[in-house]
C-alpha cells in the first residue's frame, strides 16, 4: 500500500494489522518515515493517518466501518491516540473509530497558542469537519472527557452520544502531574504501565511510550499545556458544573471505584447534573480503558448500540 492522498484529504500510512497490543518500533514514530511500519497479523486493520488542520498536521488512528466514533485521550505526557489501541480492536468491529492526538501531543505540528479547553473542543470540531463527519459518538477519558463535555454542551448537533470516562471538569483542583511535571524516565513509565494496564509485554510498551520524550519539542509543548491547564482562573472558567445540566445528548458516565485522580464522587455528581445520563462503575482505577479493556469496551458498545442511527 503506497502513501498518498486518502479519503477526506488525509494522508494514509501503511496498514497496521493488530491482533494483540504490538510494541511498535521507533520507526513507527519517525516523522521522516511517512509511511510508517507495516505489520500484518490478522483481522483488525488499523491505519495511522495524518490530516492538515488550521494549526498544522494532526496524526490519528482509524479502523472499522459504520457510525463514526471519536476517542479523546487524557492529559498524560506519554498518552495520545495510540492509548486506545487495545480498545480500537474491539470497538472497530462495530463502529468506524478515530483516535486523534490532541494538538500539542505526539508528532503533530505545534503552535504557540493558548491550550484552553474551548480551543481543544474546537480542535475536535475541526477534526470532524476535515474528515467530513457531521456528528459522531464521542468518548473522552480524563481531560478528554472534560473536552468532550464542553463539546456536548456547545455543539450537541455534532455529538450522537457522549461517554465520559473518569472525566475532569467539575473540580478546580490541580492534579499532581500538572504541578510537578518533568519528563519521565523509562523506569517511571514502566511502573505506570504495570500499574495501570493489562499489557502483557509491559517493557516493550514502556519503551515505545518513553520514546515520546525524545520527540523534538514534546516536553516543552507539554509544559506549556500544563502551565495553562493548572491555572486556577482557567480551570474555573471552563468548569463544567454550569454546563452539564444543559447537555441533552445521551450520556454514559463511566468510572473506576478505585480512581485516585478523579474520585467516584465526581462521577456521581456528574450523573446527578446531566439529564437522563447513566452511571456505570467498575472496580478499577482511573485508567479504565487500559486497566479493564474488555469490560470497558462491552459497556461502551452496549450504550452506543442503544442510541445508534441504524
pLDDT confidence of residue 177: 55
User: In which domain, by residue range, is 198 found?
Assistant: 58-306
Higher-pLDDT residue of 139, 19: 139
* Burial group, residue 219, by CB count within 10 angstroms (0-12, 13-18, 19+): middle
DSSP β-ladder status, 68-72 and 136-141: parallel
- pLDDT tens digits, one per residue of 179-203: 566 778 889 889 888 887 777 778 8
Angle at 126 between CA 83 and CA 88, to 5 degrees: 25
- pLDDT tens digits, one per residue of 249-287: 999 999 999 998 899 999 999 999 999 999 999 999 999
Which helix (H) or strand (E) is 296 found in, with range? helix 293-306
The total number of structural domains that make up the chain: 1
> Which whole number is the average pLDDT over 201-222?
79
- Say if 23 falls within a structural domain: no
- pLDDT tens digits, one per residue of 103-112: 888 888 877 6
State yes or no: pLDDT of 225 exceeds 70.
yes
- Say if 252 falls within a structural domain: yes
- Say if 172 falls within a structural domain: yes
Domain of 69, CATH number, reads: 3.40.50.1820
Which helix (H) or strand (E) is 192 found in, with range? helix 186-196
Q: What percent of the chain has pLDDT over 90?
A: 50
- Say if 184 falls within a structural domain: yes
- Say if 9 falls within a structural domain: no
- Say if 28 falls within a structural domain: no
pLDDT confidence of residue 129: 98
- Say if 239 falls within a structural domain: yes
Distance of CA 309 to the CA centre of its chain: 23
pTM of the predicted model as reported, rounded to 2 decimal places: 0.83
- Give me the residue label for grid cell 447537555: 247
Rounded to an integer, what distance in angstroms lies between the CA atom of residue 10 and that of residue 12?
Answer: 6
| Beta-carbon contacts of residue 88 (< 8 Å; ≥ 6 apart) | 18, 44, 46, 61, 63, 64, 71, 97, 99
- Say if 21 falls within a structural domain: no
Amino acid at each position: 500500500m503506497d502513501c498518498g492522498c486518502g479519503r477526506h484529504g488525509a494522508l494514509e500510512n501503511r496498514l497496521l494489522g493488530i491482533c494483540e497490543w504490538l510494541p511498535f518500533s521507533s520507526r513507527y514514530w519517525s516523522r521522516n518515515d511517512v509511511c510508517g511500519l507495516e505489520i500484518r497479523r490478522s483481522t483488525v486493520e488499523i491505519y495511522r493517518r495524518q490530516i492538515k488542520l488550521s494549526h498544522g498536521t494532526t496524526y490519528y488512528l482509524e479502523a472499522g466501518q459504520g457510525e463514526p466514533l471519536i476517542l479523546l485521550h487524557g492529559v498524560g505526557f506519554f498518552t495520545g491516540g495510540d492509548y486506545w489501541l487495545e480498545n480500537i480492536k474491539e470497538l472497530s468491529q462495530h463502529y468506524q473509530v478515530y483516535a486523534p492526538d490532541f494538538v500539542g501531543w505526539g508528532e503533530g505540528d505545534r503552535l504557540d497558542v493558548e491550550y484552553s479547553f474551548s480551543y481543544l473542543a474546537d480542535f475536535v470540531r475541526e477534526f470532524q469537519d476535515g474528515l467530513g463527519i457531521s456528528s459522531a459518538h464521542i468518548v473522552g477519558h480524563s481531560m478528554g472527557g472534560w473536552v468532550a463535555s464542553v463539546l456536548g454542551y456547545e455543539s450537541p448537533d455534532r455529538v450522537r452520544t457522549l461517554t465520559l470516562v473518569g472525566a475532569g471538569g467539575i473540580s478546580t483542583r490541580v492534579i499532581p502531574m500538572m504541578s510537578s511535571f518533568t519528563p519521565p524516565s523509562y523506569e517511571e513509565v514502566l511502573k505506570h504501565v504495570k500499574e495501570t494496564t493489562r499489557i502483557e509485554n509491559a517493557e516493550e510498551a514502556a519503551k515505545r511510550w518513553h520514546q515520546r520524550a525524545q520527540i523534538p519539542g514534546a516536553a516543552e509543548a507539554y509544559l506549556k499545556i500544563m502551565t495553562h491547564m493548572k491555572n486556577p482562573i482557567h480551570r474555573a472558567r471552563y468548569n463544567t458544573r454550569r454546563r452539564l445540566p444543559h447537555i441533552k445528548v445521551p450520556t454514559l458516565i463511566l468510572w473506576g471505584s478505585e480512581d485516585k485522580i478523579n474520585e467516584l464522587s465526581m462521577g456521581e455528581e456528574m450523573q446527578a447534573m446531566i439529564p437522563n445520563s447513566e452511571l456505570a462503575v467498575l472496580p478499577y482505577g482511573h485508567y479504565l480503558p487500559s486497566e479493564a479493556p474488555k469490560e470497558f469496551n462491552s459497556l461502551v458498545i452496549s450504550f452506543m448500540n442503544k442510541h445508534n442511527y441504524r
